[in-house]
Amino acid sequence: MAENKTVGGGSLLIAWQLKGKKVLIVGGGEVGAQRIDSLLTTDAHIDLVSPSAGLHPRSKGFLEKYPSRITHIDQEFAFIDGRQTTTAFIDVGTYDMVLTALDDNALSRQIVEVCRAIRVPVNAADIPELCDFYFGGQVRDGPLQIMISTNGNGPRIAALIKDRVKNALTGKEGDALTKVGILRTKLKERAPGVGGDVGRRRMRWMSKLCEQWSLEDFALLNEEAMDQLLDEGWEHNAVPLPVQVVGKRKIGGILEAITTDWVRSLPSFTSFLAGIGFAHIVFRLYQARK
């Protein structure tokens, strides 16, 4: 049996749901600002421990823009003889996740030890061996999130790969996924229930639909087209062709693109014809001289 090179040495990539959860960030510098930016996507509540003097401009901007999402605790996070000496005691055990964004590795290690002792997931910036999880490069388009992780080996390389992945996308994926999500909600309203025959039928129908329709087709859906798709498809246990549901919009878009391209090409086309005419005149003059 051939060796499976994907076994071992990797991480479990998961979409961690943090909505309504509490996250502690220690350090408000540049890395702290990056962590805030990442967490705002998740709808978590953030407590930021950092003296005001150490706040990065982006961190200050986030605090001003999202006061209901971020609580600023204006103080140092410090230990003496293993005991926390912060002005206002911070109970790490009340948090669902802790992130350190500090230049002080010794302090980061102390915070990690406290978190590990009470089983709170922790990430220590720039100290891979102390991290329960990593932050990777991320491509985001609406509900679509793609993470690229080098498992702590090369964050800059992850950023370069992220750019390649982003450039390979059409830009319609997020819109298409949003439309699919709305369609699934409508389908569940028509055929409610979890599991059972109805649940399995829903899954089969959606799977066939996703196999036969392109992302561009889904992106063209509107409310009326979704209802038509469910009426003519789901209700008859069939998958209509895209042209039957969004065909007019799609063809219209293609015709518009062709027309626009033709109009844009008029100047160069006119120049081309003029060039042919000029060459013909020169040739006739040359023939007359002979």
- Annotated catalytic sites, by residue? 126
CA distance 290 to 280: 16
| CA 213 to each of CA 4, 216, 274: distance values in angstroms, whole numbers, following the listed order | 33, 8, 45
The DSSP symbol for 153 reads S
CA distance 87 to 75: 7
What is the Cα Rg of the chain in Å? 29
With H, G, I as helix, E, B as strand and everything else as coil, classify residue 103.
coil
Residue 70: closest CA among 88, 78, 58, 53: 58
| CA 16 to each of CA 13, 35, 90, 215: distance values in angstroms, whole numbers, following the listed order | 9, 15, 24, 26
CA distance 95 to 111: 13
Q: Which residues pair with 23 in a beta bridge?
A: 46, 97
With H, G, I as helix, E, B as strand and everything else as coil, classify residue 220.
coil
Note whether 178 and 142 are within 8 A (CB).
yes
